[in-house]
Structure 1
Amino acid sequence: MSTSVWDLYGDALQRQPLVAPPSRRRAAWASLWRFRTYLRPYASRFVIMFVVALLGTGVGIVTPLIARAIIDGPVANSDRPGLYALGALALAVGIVDAVLTFVRRWIVSIGTLGAETGIRLDLYAKLQRLPLGFHGQWDSGQLLSRVMNDLSTMRRFLGFGLLFLILNVLQITVVTILLIGMYWPMGVVVAVSAVPVVALCLLNERAYTRLSRRIQDQTGDVASSVEESVQGLRVIKAFGRGRHMFAEFDERATRLRATALERVRNVSRFWTFLEVIPTVTLIAVLAIGALAAAQDRLTLGTLVAFITLMLSLIWPVAALGFLLSMTQDAMTAADRVCEILDAPETIVDGPRVLDAPRGALRFTDVAFRFPDADDDVLHGVNLTVAPGETVALVGGTGSGKSTLTALVARLADVTAGSVTIDGVDVRDLKLAHLRSLVATAFEDPTLFSMSARENLTLGRPDATEAEIDQALEVAQAQFVHDLPWGLDTRIGEQGMSLSGGQRQRLALARAILTRPRVLVLDDTLSALDIHTEALVEEALRRVLVGVTGIVVAHRASTVLLADKVALLESGTITHVGTHAELLAGVPEYRELLSADFDAEAELA
């Protein structure tokens, strides 16, 4: 049975992260070396590829020797049958070389593309496992650059650069030994010319590495600008800030161009010297060879073979600059990818699963602080929600309501205290199990570039049509049936083809469809008109029966969905009671709801 992409993704989610190198200073080779595990499934193919490439190099070295045999033999002795035989051998060698090249390229493509896919799957799965705090600190363009550009750079090096770096060094070594054996004075000249080549490579390495890393980082910045501009296009147009955003993009793109040109200048100087050295060496060899041939110390065939072999070294020597540049790019790319793979996973699976979950929710002395922040967002939060009970969470802007609700599904972890479901700390539950118990609908809903049905059943792909229709009815999201292709209509990236209220209703239906034990509504009704809100609230009253609910409320009408109200002020819960009790006894609560409620009429 073939393995599906979902099986591979599941394996990637469970896979342990690669062991980080002991020092980031050694990250260049160490980071690249870590990815050898992805090449192991293709080890046999890489061995065959290397053998085939080695044979191809050998064929290239043999060809000048055949030319020497032809010149010093059949040509010098006017041996026509011998000329035909050696000519046929040379033709056969050329055909073999072409076949070996095809086989090598075919095999290396299978291996390197497979390894790249494996790394990309694990990298994507790692991004899924990382906490929201990590994603809040990274530009999406930087992550995209690593998943796409950096992995492609590594693949090109593994499939081409690494192979030819080894082969070219072997070819230079073997051919130099052969040249010394043919006629040592000229061979020594060739060997000595390798010294400045090695020196140039060592001098160029550090500068190229620095520029390569800067270019890859700036490429991520440019990608971030493009993504932000596309996603925020409506805001940019609404405020007439197109020129301003273009200026920012132009600045980043110009900076990338300047760095790229600096690298081009660096590489051009390097390659120029690499081209000059073989040329100067060839002139010296021709002078020595001509003198030796004139004095009969060297046959014409040997001279031709020597020159041909030496010419075969020009590309390997000149390509060293390109190959070493590719090596530096790959090492820098590997280091950037390892920055993601090495990021700590602060939210990890627990061992437990609830057999018969009831949905009893409890916050005990909960505190939360964002990474690198000085003050707690939440502190000393205590709240108990019985199974089937609904609590409205009310508080001013910035009081920590959304942060508190995020702790239930472990979108973030408490920094002190505990959140429990049925007496079990949520950190002790398996993540997949926990998030099947808790469903969250957000104020700013996220929809994906897929069909309305796929967005709706994201949390429960096995839902029946009847269950889908019921969830749509509760959320008053029947508008999806009026779309051009109904539920199968693609709604576009971020659901931009829908209104804000439509996106909220579809996200609410998605949460309801999962049939959770705990339903968290993070101000989910804020974008609805009064009439639609009333219909949704009426349906939610039926849905919330038997379901533990936390409703973040800004409107007084939404508070009436709850059995009790918790008032959140300055990061802690100061009052808990019924709506009427808080109206009567808590002035801060009356002030929060004053825009929507007539307190005296409500108390009456």
Structure 2
Amino acid sequence: MNERFPVADRNQVRQALWRLIKLERSAVAGLLVLYLAAAVVGVAAPVLLGEIVDRVSAGDGGVDVLAGLIVASIAAQLVLVRYSRYVGHRFGERALARMREQFVDRILKLPLSKVERAGTGDLMTRNSLDVSTVGTMLRDAIPEIFISLVNAAIILAAVFYLHPLLGLCVFLMVPTVYAGTRWYLKRARDGYLAEGDANTELTETLAATADGARTLEIHRMESERVAAGAETIRHAYKTRRYTLFLRSILFPSLDGSYPLPIAGMLIVGGVLYFNDAISLGVIVAATMLSRQFVEPFDMVLLWVEKLQLGNASLARVEGVGLVEGNGKARDAEPDGDRLKASDVYYTYDGDRDVLHGVSLDVTPGERLAMVGPSGAGKSTLGRILAGIDAPRSGDIALGGVPVTKLPLERLRGLIMLVTQEHHVFRGTLRDNLALADESATDAKMLGALSVVNADWVNDLPEGLDTELGNDTLELDAAQAQQLALARVVLADPHTVILDEATSMLDPTVARHAESALAAALAGRTVIAIAHRLHTAHDAQRVAVIENGRLVELGSHGELTAAGGSYAALWHSWRGDSKN
């Protein structure tokens, strides 16, 4: 069962939005001025039209000038609204860019164990669909709501200025609008969060199916996987249909409310007019303003739906920053390079331990090999020693400081775990090597490749500038592994944990690569999780892991002479039965 990343609460989402706005104070101030100017100019036309009606009724002239002013006010409003939306969209794009950068930064600081347990689908959905939805909110929803609120406020003030009783008629729609909106908002956040989770589950299912397509074909499990996919699609459809149901209740309730202010103004205005309390022009102007008020008010409520969707997505995006250990720096500094495990227990599911009381003291500069049968817990112990996973109980300390107390960037510069799985990023070979050391010269990069016997680099058409990727040059598994080992040489950590890091290489090439890597890492601590026992033969000490326990520890000679588990593994690997 995957452990989803957390979701930010309402207060945390508001704080995140406020931080984005504070970074653009000048832009927001300019937007407010533009919105106010556009709103003020927008009420001019109805007021001037009412004046025309009064002048015509009184038989006065000068309506041509007023008509010209109406045309000018409409043109000015168009220009101001167009420019304010342009500025608003620029603000939204800048805010979105900052949020994307922050999101990527948080992802890179996430503990690897948290990412693995959450599953790639959750992270992919938040990084794509949720970020895109938040972008719509920042670029479109917030500026449009801001414009509409300012317009509505100015229009309402103008109606009250014309006559307070006519202004009160605007509030005739408040009861139905309030009831419909309150009903919607009580359910919208949870509904959109559920929709986001369903999309995550769907992404994970489709990605797992695509990645394991060949395995599914071999075991003839296509129908079961199709059924699982269909179930996740049904669940996603159900959550999407629920949010659509919410909108189908909200929008009709709003549309039925908008005629009420106009009807009220015509009735109240008619009574006042026949009692000579107001002029016909005031009624016309107020009615037009009331009709004009509906547009920004409707726009606000229309974008509320997008705002709720964006709010839920922002809660999921911000939730990545709430992962325990994300970017939390500590002041602890190791006193030396000694790596020590003390009575370590570890469980994956919270129920059954896979490591049982393991204690191991690795001295600086030592070459230690960890061996044992498959599933014994070697790789798990290697991940814990590297600080990727935290023990359930016990402690892993580097220089007397628990590795879980070290900032992630600092820890990765001290201890490096190299596994069988290696990723080649799209870009040049130089870009891929620079991930380990941005300041490395070409000579240093080529030297690192030479250390791991990556002779294929000499045949590349453009050397270090050769593009790597599916549509250019795709490295095979052995070449990708050599690239990963070259990164180790460039990164130059003081402790390297090799989890069968040369398993993809030809045995002869692997032997040379391990020898060359050992020479390059001379003076540094090397912990090799090995399935080829020549690695253990060359190590200073060998740790034998069985059933999650450290059962033997000593040099190759000592352990073979002892005739225990390691001796049995050694003779079995060599294919003989003699001591």
Equivalent pair of 1:426/1:434 in contact (CA under 8 Å): yes
Which of the numbers 486, 489, 498 marks the counterpart of 1:509? 486
Equivalent pair of 2:415/2:495 in contact (CA under 8 Å): yes
SS across alignment from 1:373: coil
Match of 1:444 in 2: 421
Q: Compute the displacement of 1:208 (Å).
A: 2.5
Match of 2:117 in 1: 137
Match of 1:472 in 2: 449
User: Where in structure 2 are the equivalents of 1:338-417 lying within 5 Å?
Assistant: 338-345=318-325, 348-351=328-331, 361-370=338-347, 373-417=350-394
2-side partners of 1:257 and 1:184: how far apart? 49
1:103 aligns to 2:83 (yes or no): yes
User: What is the TM-score of this pair, normalised by structure 1?
Assistant: 0.83
1-side partners of 2:434 and 2:156: how far apart? 67
Q: Compute the displacement of 1:523 (Å).
A: 0.8
Which of the numbers 495, 498, 501 marks the counterpart of 2:475? 498
Q: Compute the displacement of 1:47 (Å).
A: 1.8
Structure 1 residues 425 and 284 mapped into 2: Cα distance closer, same or farther (>3 Å)? Answer: closer
Equivalent pair of 1:267/1:321 in contact (CA under 8 Å): no
1-side partners of 2:46 and 2:510: how far apart? 85
Match of 1:263 in 2: 243
1:277 aligns to 2:268 (yes or no): no
Equivalent pair of 1:405/1:520 in contact (CA under 8 Å): yes
1-side partners of 2:299 and 2:240: how far apart? 20
User: Where in structure 2 are the equivalents of 1:17-416 lying within 5 Å?
Assistant: 27-73=9-55, 77=59, 79=61, 82-165=62-145, 168=148, 171-172=151-152, 175-176=155-156, 178-179=158-159, 182=162, 187-232=167-212, 235=215, 245-279=225-259, 281-283=261-263, 285-286=265-266, 299-345=279-325, 348-351=328-331, 361-370=338-347, 373-416=350-393
User: What is the TM-score of this pair, normalised by structure 2?
Assistant: 0.86
1-side partners of 2:397 and 2:267: how far apart? 87
Structure 1 residues 216 and 384 mapped into 2: Cα distance closer, same or farther (>3 Å)? Answer: closer
2-side partners of 1:76 and 1:593: how far apart? 113
One-letter amino acid of the structure 2 residue matched with residue 396 of structure 1: P
- The CA deviation string for residues 42-69 of structure 1, in whole angstroms up to 9 with x for no partner, is 1121122122112212222222001112
Equivalent pair of 2:436/2:491 in contact (CA under 8 Å): yes
Structure 1 residues 181 and 114 mapped into 2: Cα distance closer, same or farther (>3 Å)? Answer: closer
Match of 2:506 in 1: 529
Structure 1 residues 255 and 381 mapped into 2: Cα distance closer, same or farther (>3 Å)? Answer: closer
Count how many residue pairs are aligned between Structure 1 and Structure 2. 574
Match of 1:3 in 2: none
1-side partners of 2:327 and 2:282: how far apart? 70
1:551 aligns to 2:528 (yes or no): yes
- The CA deviation string for residues 236-269 of structure 1, in whole angstroms up to 9 with x for no partner, is 5666666654554443334323332332233123
SS across alignment from 1:381: strand
1:560 aligns to 2:542 (yes or no): no
Match of 1:14 in 2: none
SS across alignment from 2:256: helix
Question: Structure 1, unaligned stretches of length 5 or more?
Answer: 1-19
- The CA deviation string for residues 51-105 of structure 1, in whole angstroms up to 9 with x for no partner, is 21122122222220011122322686362xx233222222221222122213312
Q: Compute the displacement of 1:553 (Å).
A: 0.9
Match of 1:13 in 2: none
Q: Compute the displacement of 1:37 (Å).
A: 1.8
SS across alignment from 1:312: helix
Match of 1:597 in 2: 574
Equivalent pair of 1:388/1:547 in contact (CA under 8 Å): yes
One-letter amino acid of the structure 1 residue matched with residue 73 of structure 2: V
Structure 1 residues 209 and 466 mapped into 2: Cα distance closer, same or farther (>3 Å)? Answer: closer
Match of 1:519 in 2: 496
Q: Compute the displacement of 1:285 (Å).
A: 4.6
One-letter amino acid of the structure 1 residue matched with residue 500 of structure 2: D
Q: Compute the displacement of 1:567 (Å).
A: 0.7
2-side partners of 1:270 and 1:353: how far apart? 57
1-side partners of 2:412 and 2:399: how far apart? 15
2-side partners of 1:574 and 1:243: how far apart? 45
- The CA deviation string for residues 483-507 of structure 1, in whole angstroms up to 9 with x for no partner, is 4544333333799933322222221
- The CA deviation string for residues 256-300 of structure 1, in whole angstroms up to 9 with x for no partner, is 233323322331232122112223554565566568768877644
One-letter amino acid of the structure 1 residue matched with residue 367 of structure 2: T
Equivalent pair of 1:365/1:416 in contact (CA under 8 Å): no
2-side partners of 1:121 and 1:533: how far apart? 39
Structure 1 residues 487 and 230 mapped into 2: Cα distance closer, same or farther (>3 Å)? Answer: farther
Structure 1 residues 319 and 521 mapped into 2: Cα distance closer, same or farther (>3 Å)? Answer: same
Q: Compute the displacement of 1:455 (Å).
A: 2.1
Q: Compute the displacement of 1:233 (Å).
A: 5.2
SS across alignment from 1:193: helix
Match of 1:7 in 2: none
1-side partners of 2:437 and 2:253: how far apart? 63
Q: Compute the displacement of 1:121 (Å).
A: 2.6
1-side partners of 2:346 and 2:327: how far apart? 15
SS across alignment from 2:412: helix
2-side partners of 1:177 and 1:470: how far apart? 75
One-letter amino acid of the structure 2 residue matched with residue 110 of structure 1: R
- The CA deviation string for residues 173-208 of structure 1, in whole angstroms up to 9 with x for no partner, is 554564466466655544323222222211222132
1-side partners of 2:59 and 2:385: how far apart? 93
One-letter amino acid of the structure 2 residue matched with residue 252 of structure 1: T
2-side partners of 1:238 and 1:188: how far apart? 73
Structure 1 residues 598 and 173 mapped into 2: Cα distance closer, same or farther (>3 Å)? Answer: closer
Equivalent pair of 1:399/1:568 in contact (CA under 8 Å): yes
Equivalent pair of 1:182/1:302 in contact (CA under 8 Å): yes
Equivalent pair of 2:530/2:536 in contact (CA under 8 Å): yes
Structure 1 residues 446 and 561 mapped into 2: Cα distance closer, same or farther (>3 Å)? Answer: farther
2-side partners of 1:191 and 1:431: how far apart? 56
